[in-house]
Every structure is written in C-alpha cells, then in structure tokens.
Amino acid sequence: MKIALAQINPTVGDLNGNVDRILRYARRAHRQGADLVVFPELSVTGYPPQDLLEHPAFVEAVQEALDRIAAAVPQDLGVIVGAPVPNDDTVGNRLYNAALLLENGRRHAEARKSLLPTYDVFDEHRYFEANEAPSVIEWCGLRIGLHICEDMWNAHQQAQPRTYERDPLGELAAQDPDVFINISASPFSIGKHDDRNALIEQICADHRRPFLLCNQVGANTEIIFDGDSRIHHADGTQTACAASFEEDLLFWDTDEAASTCTVRRDDTADLHDALVLGIRDYYEKTDIFTKALVGLSGGIDSAVTCALAAEALGPERVLGVTMPSEISSEGSVSDSEALADNLGIEFAKIPIKPAIDAFGDMLAPAFEGTEPGVAEENLQSRARGVTLMALSNKFGHLLLSTGNKSELAVGYVTLYGDTNGGVAVLSDVLKTRVYELARHVNARAGRAVIPQNTIDKPPSAELREDQKDTDSLPPYEVLDAILMRYIEQKKEAPRIVAETGYDPSHVRDVLEQVDQNEYKRRQTPPGLRVTRKAFGVGRRMPIVGRWHRPAAEPVTTDEPVTTER
C-alpha cells in the first residue's frame, strides 16, 4: 500500500479554501499512485478554530464540508482528514476532535482525540470531549493505529511528571496495529524537531511499529506550524521527511525496503524561516493590507524586521520609514537608507521635530516646574507611533512592531509608540538572538544586506543625547540569560543565581521588572511564537496582583524535564 502524507497550510475558518486544498492534494497524491492520503489535525477548519467552534452554524458547515470532500475524492482513494464532529451524548462537551477516514462518498471510520491539551497556547478542554477508548481502524487489510497529536506526547519516558494518566498509544498497541498514524497541529518552537525525533524513536522502541506523522504547516495569528512531517521505520529510523515551513507531499510504500533520511537543523535558520512564514501568512491570510510598513531607526531590531518582511512579502510590498528627531544620530538615517537600498524597498523620511515642538508647546503649562525626563523622551516614540499609524490608516499598510522579547520583558518599550502595530515580529526573540538573525540574513544573502554598522554599534533607543540601552539595562548577554531561565524555563531567582553566578539583587530586580510590566505587554500586538513560552495567549499572568517572591538560598538541583507537543 502506498500512503501519502499531505502537509498542508489551512486557514482558520476558510472551509471552502481548505476543502479545495484538501481535494487538490488528494488528487495529486492519487495521480502519483497513493492508496491512502493523510491530512493534518483539524485540517478542514484550520488550527486553532477557537470560539468558532461555539457557533452551531460553523459546526454544521464543517459537517457539510466533510460530505463534500467524501463525495469529491477519487474513487477507491482513502482520505484521512481532521475535523470537529458532534458529540451526541447528553453529557460532556458538544464536540470531538476527530480524524475521519473518508472513502467512496462516505465516512468509513472515525478516531477521536483522547488527550486534550490545556496549557500554553492550547485550550482544547474548552471545546472538546475526550475519547475514552481508542480503537484500531481496519482499511484494505491494514490495521491503523490512528490518533491525534497530543495522544502521542504522553508516551515519552522523559515526560515526568506525566500530564495524563492514560497512554493512548499503549492502548492502541495492545490491539496489534500494523502502523501508527498521527495527525497533528503541533506548533513550532526552537528545538522542536529534535523533540519529535526523540519522542518517535522512543515510541518505536517501545512498540516496534512504523510511525507516520502528518503535521500542519503555516501560521495562524501568533502560532507557527513548521510541518516537519515524517515517516519512521519500526526500529525508529527516520526513512522519509517532509520540507519544513512549506507545504509538501510525502510518500511511503509499505512494501518497499526502508531507507534513511537524516536532517540536520540549525536553530537560527529555523527561527528565520519561522518568522518569514509568520509574517507572510499573517499578511496573506488576513488579506486586507496593501503593504507592510516598518519604522526604521537604524537599529538592529527594525533592520531585522524589515529584512524578514522583504523576504516574506517581496521588496515591492514593504515600505520603510525613518523619522529622525534632533536627538537622532546621523547613522540612524544613513543606516536606514542603506538598508532600504540593499533590500530594494520603498523608503521615506519624515522628520518628527515639528510634532515634538508642538507637543512641547502644548504641554509646557502642565509640565511647568518639573525636570525633563522620561515623559519628554517618550514623546518622540509616540510621535513616531502616530506617524506610522497615520500612514497605515491612510494607505492600508500593515504596521510591523519591531520590539524584541528582552525589551518587552522588562518594559523597555513605549506604549502607543514603538508598541504600535498589527503584529509583533520579534516579540518572542531575545535581543542576543536578534543579532544572530542579522548575521544569518547577511550570510544567507552573501552580502551585508543589514549594514555592518547597524550590527556593530551599541544599541540605543536614541531618546536623549548619548543614550545607550546599558544605561537602563544589564548587558543583553546577562539580561537574556536571566530572562530565558525565568520566562521560558520557569526558574526562580535562587536557581538562576546558582546557574549563572549573577548578583542575587540584580537577578531579583530583573524578575520584578518582568512582573511589573505585564500591563504593557497586554497592550502590544499579537506576537509570533517561536519559543516554548512566548508572551501572549500562552502566558497568562495577572496584571493586578501582589505576589512577592520569597528570599531563598541558591539551589543547584535540576528541575524535572517536561515535554510539549
């Protein structure tokens, strides 16, 4: 039997577009000899459909879409798709997250998701009922251990403490399947490829069955899916692998001898490709913008954001705007102009001195008797924000926010200034990684697309004379080491001090800045998620609260290892 994995990029809620895409790939797979073609989790609706699932009309339209797929696929071709289906019981949530095997105009079989993740960006218990007893599906003589995404993630021996009591793969393995097939909407985060490898190798070692994974690709708002679909032999050897960050069709013949597929991944390259995909899909799937708009400061963050946007959308669909004030250095303008020339994008210069002067005159009576400070400095950022939003409003441009995760973490941003925008491209990228991205962009292009001066000069907000970020923040190498441990690894001050050797008072100060600036982050645009713990929908912290971390002696023991899908 020849099985195809169709790694597609569905759009949330676009039932007609998703059905067309499923049928197009099904016919293509059939032409290439496939007997069975497999699509990702919730491929009919896109993932995550969120509260669309609470609308009866939407759920009814999904069932009609399933009927259309079943009626239109080629005869004698089996098609596995993911979709919500109604739960007819009088108790429980009204839907199941299901994998349906369609054939010859009908629903041949159905598998329902057993483990429903409710952590980080996942909220499936809000909508779905858990399957209580997974069963092997028989089709054309093949016994398929069909299951959905999270159902495989409790099998890893490193998953301690275990999130669930059940092991759906163990339950399926007891029924003697010929092959495991997993349909997934498993988001990208840095290092996820290696996590999947280790997990599936362990599953194969435990159960000695071939394992096929079909994962969604594409981006829906904050969440980016890398694809990374693959086929593993019963001994765990990866025998075939799909492309990452793009649609692909992968084939496996049950009668052919196993080959070997080795993929070497580079974290910075993956990060680059994920962000490019995130920008492109946000722009194209919303389908309301004419161009992308980036405020160019001559600094590293805006330069990297602009370069990623130009790659994602093409230089003809990107506008870079520099907005110098009296404080701006000569390099802020010249480096911005050089970047625009290197990328081939449209470029504009709009000085903000008239706005700053007008604000100064307007506020002078109210500010009388006070010393100039942060409020006056931030007028520059807010004047730029007003300028960019006016351009966005006038011409229908998508404003890309350029702030990085390090700055957002400690509140080193100006509300209604540099936080303006439709999507925050670098909000999950620590500053040190931004520099890595800049060097990667230049290395990939084989030339200094991002001017070397932009990379070399000390970072500065340029809101006062001779200002440097280190006037207010620790060096980014120090800050990022603390932030990564606190935000992404959930470690507290004593453990961070033990691991880094940094001054305990400095570590606590950083952690308290993170906690105190939740109100700022809540007002920023949605950000592209590329780590295990991003600001936004996956990190839900109270704005109002008085939890004060206790003082404690440094510790040296390691935390338990956890896994996520």
Tell me: do 313 and 432 sit in the same domain. yes
Tell me: do 248 and 286 sit in the same domain. no
- What's the pLDDT tens digit per position in 450-490? 999 999 998 887 777 878 878 888 999 999 999 999 999 99
Tell me: do 480 and 397 sit in the same domain. yes
Q: Pick the last residue of a domain from 227, 245, 265.
A: 265
Q: Which CATH number fits the domain that encloses residue 384?
A: 3.40.50.620
Q: Pick the last residue of a domain from 236, 265, 294.
A: 265
**Where are the strands (E) in 48-178, listed by range?**
78-86, 95-103, 106-112, 137-139, 142-148
Mean pLDDT of the chain: 94
Question: Tell me, what's the pLDDT at 156?
Answer: 60
pLDDT at 552 over 60: no
In a domain, 562, yes or no: no
CB atoms within 10 A of CB 308: 26
Tell me: do 241 and 295 sit in the same domain. no
Tell me: do 258 and 402 sit in the same domain. no
- What's the pLDDT tens digit per position in 5-60? 999 999 999 999 999 999 999 999 999 999 999 999 999 999 999 999 999 999 99
**Active-site annotation holds for 41:** yes
Tell me: do 150 and 170 sit in the same domain. yes
In a domain, 173, yes or no: yes
In a domain, 382, yes or no: yes
CA distance 251 to 514: 47
Tell me: do 207 and 329 sit in the same domain. no
Which residue range forms the structural domain that includes residue 462?
Answer: 272-521
Q: How far is CA 352 from CA 188, 327, 340, 469, 510, in A?
A: 39, 11, 20, 22, 33
Tell me: do 245 and 283 sit in the same domain. no
Tell me: do 16 and 99 sit in the same domain. yes
Tell how far CA 43 is from the center of its chain.
17
The pair phi, psi for residue 210, each rounded to 5°, is: -60, 150
Strand partners, 86: 95
pLDDT at 560 over 50: no
Model-level pTM?
A: 0.95
In a domain, 228, yes or no: yes
Break the chain down into helix, strand, coil percent, rounded to 5.
40, 20, 40
Q: How far is CA 283 from CA 219, 359, 362, 400, in A?
A: 10, 34, 38, 10
CA distance 378 to 366: 16
Question: Tell me, what's the pLDDT at 248?
Answer: 98
User: Mind giving me the DSSP string for 226-266?
Assistant: EB--EEE-TTS-EEEEPPBSS-EEEEEETTSPP--------
CB atoms within 10 A of CB 542: 9
pLDDT at 69 over 60: yes
Angle between helices 431-445 and 300-313 (to 10 degrees): 50
In a domain, 534, yes or no: no
Tell me: do 163 and 284 sit in the same domain. no
Tell me: do 250 and 344 sit in the same domain. no
Q: Which CATH number fits the domain that encloses residue 48?
A: 3.60.110.10
In a domain, 308, yes or no: yes
CB atoms within 10 A of CB 235: 12
Question: Per the residue annotation, which of 103, 124, 149, 407 is the catalytic one?
Answer: 149
In a domain, 57, yes or no: yes
Q: How many domains does the chain have?
A: 2
Tell me: do 299 and 189 sit in the same domain. no
Mean pLDDT over residues 122-146, rounded? 96
Mean pLDDT over residues 374-401, rounded? 97
